[in-house]
Amino acid sequence: MALSLRGGVIAAPSMFAASARRPFTHAGLFLLCLANLSFEVLLTRIFSVTMWYHFAFFAISVSLFGMTVGAMVVFMRPRDFTEERAPSQLAAAALGFAIAIVLSVVMHFLVPVVFVPSLLGLGTILFTYLTFAVPFFFAGLAVCIALTKFPEHVSTLYAADLTGAASGCLALIALLRVADASAAVVTIAIGVLAAGALFVAEAPLTRFAKATFFVSIGGLAAVLASLPMPVGELDSGLVQANQRGESTPYVRWNSFSRIRVTGDPDRLMPPFAWAMSPAYPRRSEPMARQLTLAIDAMAGSVLTGFDGNLEAVEYLKYDLVNLAHYLRSGAAVLAVGVGGGRDILAALAFGQPRVVGVEINEDIIKTVNRRFGDFTGHLDRYPQVAFVNDDARSYLARERERFDIIQIAMIDTWAATAAGAFALTENSLYTVEAWTLFLERLTANGVLTVSRWYFGDRPGELYRLTALAAASLKAWGVADPRDHIIVVINAGEPSNRIGTMLLSAAPFSARDLDQLDQVVARLRFEVVLSPRLSSDETLAALATGDDPRMLATNFPINLTPPTDDAPFFFQMLRLSSVLDPASWELGRNSFNLKAVVILCLVLAVVAVLTLLSIVVPLSLAGRRAIPSRAVPFLVFFACIGMGFMLIEVALMQRLIILLGHPTYSLSVVLCTLLLAGGAGSYVTKPLAPHALPRAAAGRFLVLLLVVAACGVALPHLVRLVESASIPMRIVAAIGLVAPAGFCMGMAFPIGLKLAAPRVGSLTPWLWGINGATSVCGSVLAVAIALESRISTAFWTGWACYLFAFAAVAWIGWSERRRDRATAVRVAA
């Protein structure tokens, strides 16, 4: 996101007349910032399809890096960037931005990333990074010019900037509901061309030159609209499918996923199971019609051909993930994450009288029940089946129905959401607060069943799942969690096993355990933990719930039970182990741990870039040192850039749990911050530069108090309104975020009004520092949340604003001291 625009810094005043209203510049800046943020968020979608999910995180650092370089160019070439030339340069920068958007995406497909630990792999990653930095370079150039060359309009221009960025969030969500990523890329590029046309309307050009430019823009837009770009058709999963001769009947994009269905609907194949029992006699026999439903490049499910004959799907009774149905017959079942509908079909095969499937992705439900309804048997038409488009936690918090079985079978977040660029892999389903809610929604003898990978000598996911179960039971008031927990694994290769946990609201009875033993013996599974036995001392120790943090610290990976304030269940690599390659391995899901390694590498890179952005521009501009008068401004703009990012990312991560849906998190949190920030910027318009040190200090005190109140109220608000309707939760989130956004929005114009008459020639350099620290803050926020808590990242951002307040006080104190010294000299 164009966050260097939000925490921001601008530049020097000019000698040009201040009376021009410049409506076209405002409109052009609005449209350009709208397109800029839309493209950045779109990149998170493209990266999550064409690369491993955690590379979606790169989108934010790429955009901020490119915009920082653009600002540095303005600083280093002041004679080339003047106010008289600004409208023409804005139009030219917009033209370059539009062309670079399309070319960067095309180049990404021509030179795909090679995921091999080699110079080739590193080179392709670097090439991708630099390729996508180019369009944001032009965006940064345009925004810096617009804001630095018309300082008399800074409050209204910054408001247009933030309003445009906020609108970009909503525009992309709406766009991806009716178009795929290819069309979205072209549409965004054409929007940038329209911004260029608005800029040229105020350029000091002849009518002929303007007409020529308009015709050129129209012709380029026509070319872009006709340009084919197969976005997402080169990801590794689809290439492999095509190599196997599979067709691609259906591809669907939306704001937080790309759904792809592949396979031959008439082809018979061995039945899919997460953990098929070796006792099933037909497990290798081609007898099932199945299609693969893939979400982005990693997450997947299976569409099962079903004609109403339950005997044809009898094999579902031999899948380990469905073990709970043997212990609870005649059950009301809640399936979390419907996917292709296998969990619904399994419940029907076991004869369960009520099945509710909760799926967060509306397009998945439509794919299963509409687009492929004839293939899947229209499961939504069965009277005992109900599909719900919602987040499971939000649904359970709002509804009071109790269930005999709540099933979470291999549900994860390896498909990046629209907020995934910020949040990596936080998952609200695997926290103590979530499981406490699940226990509350079970009947007296209800069972929560959760299935995850079990990797031989390092079953990290099952270990952490057990620690989570014990902590949740303790939080729910259970004295001895061990009596409520069963863990069963399947036979097979140690590197590719599944473990299923059964968590009971009441202690498992002797009848339950006898029945379990019979089923496990018949299906040839293995019980590794139950109230009666344990074949794994670590699991047994974790299941007691005794001092889980102390026990977890004895492992090289993090087994501490996740909470809503640290909901990173799948990220188990400690930052202290990043330099130890032996700690990166966790069987089939090692890439989850390696994502943390990549995060640390990115953090190191952006830290170096931040340092270089301070030193190199000064050196190239012929300055050997930072002027003493510029030091407090350096501190100010660096702090508001990093502080805004830390607070924004923390709010985004924390409120995903409250709002339930990633689209709501993106549109509500980000748009509220930007719109409120724009309003905060606008109200600073009357402030006079000569009165600013004192006025700025007062407003920063208000900012610190309001943001602190937001941080204190945040966890209480989540608990207070989690059972409310979605509209009410949205209103509550807006009410919490808007005051903080309004106050943080004032920092930008206040900084400009302070800097322009004092260190005017250095303000583009300060803009670049702000952009660089924003990059740092975007990465640092995730690193802090992973290693500590989301709240720690939030309060670190608050501390940055505290340092910015100190810088403002420093500026005021320095000026008062100089004034007193001057007065003494005059008196003498």
pLDDT tens for each residue of 665-710: 667 888 888 889 888 888 887 766 565 677 778 888 999 999 999 9
CATH of the domain at 727: 1.20.1250.20
Residue 245 falls inside a structural domain: no
CA distances from 827 to 506, 563, 818, 819, 820 (A): 86, 65, 14, 12, 10
Among the three residues 552, 576, 611, which one is the final residue of a domain in this structure? 552
Mean of the per-residue pLDDT values of the chain: 81
Residue (of 633, 618, 626) closest to 747 by Cα position: 633
Rounded CA gap, 210 and 193, in Å? 14
- Do 496 and 614 lie in a common domain? no
Q: Residue by residue, what is the 3-state secondary structure of 727-757?
A: HHHHHHHHHHHHHHHHHHHHHHHHHHHHHHH
- Do 524 and 610 lie in a common domain? no
Three-state DSSP state, 524: coil
Percent helix, strand and coil across the chain, each to the nearest 5: 65, 10, 25
- Do 491 and 360 lie in a common domain? yes
Q: Which of 337-341, 369-373, 539-543, 611-615 has the highest mean predicted lDDT (pLDDT)?
A: 369-373
Rounded CA gap, 766 and 124, in Å? 32
Three-state DSSP state, 337: coil
- Do 545 and 595 lie in a common domain? no
Instruction: Count up the domains in the chain and report the number.
Output: 2
| Residue 581 CB neighbours (<10 A) | 11
Model pLDDT, residue 688: 64
Domain that residue 314 falls in: 274-283+306-552
pLDDT tens for each residue of 738-747: 999 999 988 8
Residue 596, pLDDT above cutoff 80: no
Residue 593, pLDDT above cutoff 90: no
Residue that wins the pLDDT comparison between 785 and 482: 482
Residue (of 526, 538, 481) closest to 500 by Cα position: 526
Q: Where are the beta strands (DSSP E) in 296-371?
A: 299-304, 332-336, 354-359
Residue 247 falls inside a structural domain: no
Beta-bridged to residue 516, according to DSSP, are none
Antiparallel, parallel or unpaired: β 332-336 and 403-409: parallel
Three-state DSSP state, 572: coil
Backbone angles phi, psi at 364, to 5 degrees: -65, -45
Rounded CA gap, 116 and 124, in Å? 10
Concatenating the DSSP letter of every residue in 192-227 gives HHHHHHHHHHTSS--HHHHHHHHHHHHHHHHHHHT-
Residue 255 falls inside a structural domain: no
pLDDT tens for each residue of 56-101: 556 767 887 788 788 778 877 778 887 778 888 898 899 999 999 9
Among the three residues 503, 535, 552, which one is the final residue of a domain in this structure? 552
pLDDT tens for each residue of 294-347: 887 666 789 999 999 999 999 999 999 999 999 999 999 999 988 899 999 999
- Do 389 and 516 lie in a common domain? yes
Yes or no: say if 3 and 64 are a contact pair by the CB < 8 Å rule. yes
- Do 534 and 600 lie in a common domain? no
Among the three residues 552, 577, 610, which one is the final residue of a domain in this structure? 552
Query: DSSP character for 670?
Result: I
How large is the average pLDDT for residues 743-753? 84
- Do 700 and 790 lie in a common domain? yes
* Terminal CA-CA length for the chain: 56
Concatenating the DSSP letter of every residue in 61-123 gives HHHHHHHHHHHHHHHH-TTTS-TTTHHHHHHHHHHHHHHHHHHHHHHHHHSPPP-SSSHHHHH
Model pLDDT, residue 423: 39
Residue 818, pLDDT above cutoff 70: yes
CATH of the domain at 508: 3.40.50.150
- Do 61 and 169 lie in a common domain? yes
- Do 443 and 489 lie in a common domain? yes
Rounded CA gap, 404 and 386, in Å? 16
Kindly give, in sequence order, each residue whose CB lies less than 8 Å from that of residue 465, ignoring residues fewer than 6 positions away: 430, 450, 452, 499, 501
Rounded CA gap, 162 and 150, in Å? 17
Residue 104, pLDDT above cutoff 60: yes
Residue 727 falls inside a structural domain: yes
Yes or no: say if 303 and 345 are a contact pair by the CB < 8 Å rule. no
> CA angle, corner 409, sides to 405 and 415, nearest 5?
135
Backbone angles phi, psi at 394, to 5 degrees: -60, -40
Rounded CA gap, 729 and 747, in Å? 28
Residue 440 falls inside a structural domain: yes
> Which pTM was predicted?
0.83
Backbone angles phi, psi at 499, to 5 degrees: -115, 135
Length of the chain: 828
Residue 786 falls inside a structural domain: yes
Rounded CA gap, 293 and 74, in Å? 48
CA distances from 38 to 101, 276, 540, 666, 779 (A): 11, 44, 49, 12, 20
Model pLDDT, residue 1: 36
Residue (of 791, 827, 814) closest to 708 by Cα position: 791
Kindly give, in sequence order, each residue whose CB lies less than 8 Å from that of residue 646, ignoring residues fewer than 6 positions away: 777, 780, 781, 784, 793, 794, 796, 797, 800
Residue 471 falls inside a structural domain: yes
Residue (of 763, 805, 798) closest to 781 by Cα position: 798
pLDDT tens for each residue of 553-584: 566 777 889 999 988 887 777 666 666 655 55
Rounded CA gap, 675 and 536, in Å? 54
Residue (of 437, 454, 455) closest to 446 by Cα position: 437
- Do 652 and 548 lie in a common domain? no
Q: Which of 62-71, 280-289, 479-488 has the lowest mean pLDDT?
A: 62-71
Give the sign of the dihedral formed by CA 175, CA 178, CA 180, CA 183: negative
CA distances from 656 to 426, 766, 782 (A): 9, 33, 15
- Do 208 and 336 lie in a common domain? no
Q: What are the counts of helices (DSSP H) followed by strands (DSSP E) for the chain?
A: 28, 13
pLDDT tens for each residue of 433-464: 999 999 999 999 999 999 998 876 668 889 99
Model pLDDT, residue 621: 63
Residue 563 falls inside a structural domain: no
- Do 666 and 597 lie in a common domain? yes
Beta-bridged to residue 557, according to DSSP, are 573
